[in-house]
A and B are shown apart, each in its own frame.
Chain A
Amino acid sequence: MAILTYREALNRAMVEEMEKDPLIYLMGEEVGHYQGAYKVSQGMLDKFGEERVIDTPISENGFAGIGVGSAMVGLRPIIEFMTWNFSLVAIDQIINSAAKMNYMSGGQFPMPIVFRGAGGAGGRLGAQHSQAFESWYAHCPGLKVVCPATPKDAYGLLKSSIRDNNPTIFIESEVLYGSKGEVPEQEYTIPLGLGEIKRKGTDITLVTWSRALSFAEEAATILEKEGISVEIVDLRSLRPLDENLIYESVKKTNRALVVEEGWPVAGFGAQIAYLIQKNAFAYLDHPVERVTQMDVPMSYAANLERMSLPNALRVADTIREMLQ
């Protein structure tokens, strides 16, 4: 096992896949000469040259469209958004073009494209640079939505996303890029749609993904000292969704809490809460609860940002209440 950062794991996944398949290219702002705004593509220009590691002008809608068009004729683009905040000017291409191309053509145009980049909230970046958008994309059939929380998962899930013949929204956590973890030396992939129990427990099921996993784990450690045993389900991908993993856990613990970085209204946690009450209602001893970002744009002020974001203390408090 090697210890890699989340960023290095992503880099390794891309490099290995590009070495194997000459139809894969990486495109985005600053991915080449600058070595990536977050250095995820460090060294890739030297390895693959300007034909496959392509710097673009600032034109998200344009290069997202280039990616989709090129995927229509068999290339396998990896389109990097510097951050997902800027994907909003390309959302037309992602949803109206990429997500629907195969369907509206009656199955003629598979869409082997990965849109990836930094996402998530925090870091005192203010209202326009600090938001979690996975719920937006998970809303749309035709897209796959992947949100890895660890370097090991980042590597295995990115490889699967690149090999997938469908448009994948691969949201990396900006805050996690420097985080370290064990990554097997041997090549491996993680199938999309396979969640993982990141911690076993008996009293409550905590469902989460991406960076919110760290709040969950911290809360579980706090609660363990109080004799409360938390089971943590990391979904890893929201679409496809590992529903059974959630239900199996809830059947054991009889309680469920969703923890997410995004806003509460129409957020993905609401979907999970619905599914649990629909499919595991008989096993519930408490309504499903959620800990989310507050229902406000992000403030720059340190204290307000802290208050807005979910954190381990809020998670722990909610669990204590649910167990009373």
Chain B
Amino acid sequence: MVSSVPKDSQSVSELKEFYRQMVLIRKFEEAAAKAYSVGKIGGFLHLYIGQEAVGVGSIASLTPKDYIVSTYRDHGHALARGLNPKPLMAELFGKGTGISKGNGGSMHFFDRNAHFMGGHGIVGGHISLAAGIAFASKFKKEDSVTICFFGEGAANIGSFHEGLNLAAIWKLPVVFICENNHYAMGTPEYRALAVKDVSVRAYAYDIARDHIEGDEVRKVRDHVQVAVERARRGEGPTLIEVSTYRFRGHSMSDPAKYRTKEELEAYKKKDPLMRARHELELGGITTEELDKMDLEIQTQIDEAYQYAETSPEPPLSQLHKYVYAEDK
């Protein structure tokens, strides 16, 4: 593992915070997987485990006024945005205290105040929504930037191409982040992408591009930051491909038999959490301190689990609520 040692106390504390967020995501999802396997969570549950550095690094480059648009694999992005794990877990449990009041579920986390603009379930459909949010920022002359996460599988759908083209011709402040985990469900990228490198599609729209490995969280942040600043300066969108890997199946119901054990093991050696931990140790943080941190996070997750479990289901009167917005 080639590791970069954090050079000063500031970069140590920054990395510590990134590590904390990544562990929070990992433990949140491990708890969710447990709850799913005992039937406390229904529907689909797509885990982000293995990809944490992408969400954490990318979102670290944003300010609170910026916007995030996510997919059905949205837990990591929401937690990286700083959302409280309690209402997120409660949402998974379908409780009235959930972040979307139990109407959304795993795939549809929303938090208007945090500018967390939703997890969306139609592959690629949200890419043009993200362009629309960026359009609104430009329209209102606000300097917010929108970042939009999607998988390499989404890069083949019309909405991707239309969204990028519109964002390009109107120079919208949006950063498109393709989290290439090399599989769209059971379809490996080489069977789905005529040109494997998604980022070169930026040439088709004459926008900036970048391509990075997604196991080093500070590197992700640094690269995304450049794109966010470019967008903020009014220079238009960027397409960034971040190479990453999901350690679990596509969703909880997928045993992921389409890939080899060796491949998985090789990627696990590049686990972004392990890497950050190692770098922190090189930067002078002791194992005890890191273990203590992990434990604190575990307690936080246990509390979230407890909160979700004991929260009431939404009232039945909610069934017909929210179909239409209340009148002004």
**Residues of A that sit less than 8 Å from B by CB:** 25, 51, 56-57, 59, 61-75, 89, 92-93, 96-97, 101-112, 141-142, 144, 163, 165-166
Contact = CB atoms under 8 A, between A and B. Distances in A.
Contact of A61 (B101, B134, B159): B159
B133 A72 contact: yes
A105 B118 contact: yes
B129 A104 contact: no
A104 B127 contact: no
A160 to B, nearest CB: 11
B79 to A, nearest CB: 18
Given A107-B322, A165-B325, A70 B133 contact: yes
A56 to B, nearest CB: 7
B86 to A, nearest CB: 15
Contacts of A51: 139
Interface residues of B, number: 49
A14 to B, nearest CB: 17
A73 B67 contact: yes
Contacts of B112: 105, 108-109
Interface in B86-119: 98-104, 108, 110-112, 117-118
A173 B169 CA distance: 32
10 contacts: A65-B125, A67-B132, A69-B69, A69-B131, A72-B132, A93-B128, A96-B125, A106-B322, A107-B322, A109-B118
A170 B131 CA distance: 24
Contacts of B99: 106
Contacts of B321: 107
Contacts of B169: 57
B122 A109 contact: no
A66 B132 contact: yes
A63 B324 CA distance: 23
A112 B325 CA distance: 9
Contacts of B104: 104-106
A104 B117 CA distance: 12
Q: Which 9 A-B pairs have the closest CB atoms?
A: A69-B132, A65-B128, A62-B162, A106-B101, A110-B325, A105-B110, A69-B129, A66-B132, A70-B136
A70, A93, A96, A110 — which one has the most chain B CB atoms within 10 A of its CB? A70
Contact of A72 (B117, B127, B328): B117
Given A62-B128, A62-B131, A57 B165 contact: yes
B136 A74 contact: yes
Contacts of A65: 125-129, 131-132, 159, 162-163
Given A61-B159, A69-B131, A104-B104, A111 B139 contact: no
Given A61-B128, A103-B103, 13 more contacts: A56-B166, A62-B163, A64-B128, A65-B125, A65-B128, A69-B128, A69-B129, A69-B130, A69-B132, A75-B136, A96-B121, A103-B322, A106-B104
Given A70-B139, A73-B67, A108-B111, A102 B166 contact: no
B132 A141 contact: no
Contacts, number: 154
B323 interface: yes
Contacts of A104: 100, 103-104, 108, 110, 118
B66 to A, nearest CB: 12
B110 A68 contact: no
B268 to A, nearest CB: 34
Interface in B276-328: 321-328
A56 B128 CA distance: 13
A72, A75, A112 — which one has the most chain B CB atoms within 10 A of its CB? A72
A69 B139 CA distance: 12
A234 to B, nearest CB: 23
A75 to B, nearest CB: 5
Contact of A105 (B69, B108, B133, B159): B108
B64 interface: no
B137 interface: yes
Nearest to A101: B118
A69 B117 CA distance: 9
Interface string B158-176: 1101110110010000000
Contacts of A74: 136, 140
Contacts of B110: 104-106, 108-109
Nearest to B134: A69
Given A93-B128, A96-B122, A102-B323, A108 B162 contact: no
A73, A93, A101, A111 — which one has the most chain B CB atoms within 10 A of its CB? A73
B133 A102 contact: no
A73 B174 CA distance: 15
Nearest to B321: A107
B19 interface: no
B250 interface: no
A136 B67 CA distance: 33
B232 interface: no
Contacts of B101: 106-107
B218 interface: no
B120, B125, B135 — which one has the most chain A CB atoms within 10 A of its CB? B135
B165 A72 contact: no
Given A92-B125, A108-B110, A166-B324, A61 B158 contact: yes
Contact of B133 (A73, A111, A141): A73
Contacts of B132: 65-72
B103, B108, B136, B328 — which one has the most chain A CB atoms within 10 A of its CB? B136
A74 B144 CA distance: 14
Nearest to A112: B325
A57, A89, A102 — which one has the most chain B CB atoms within 10 A of its CB? A102
Contacts of A165: 324-328
Given A67-B132, A105-B103, A108-B100, A62 B165 contact: yes
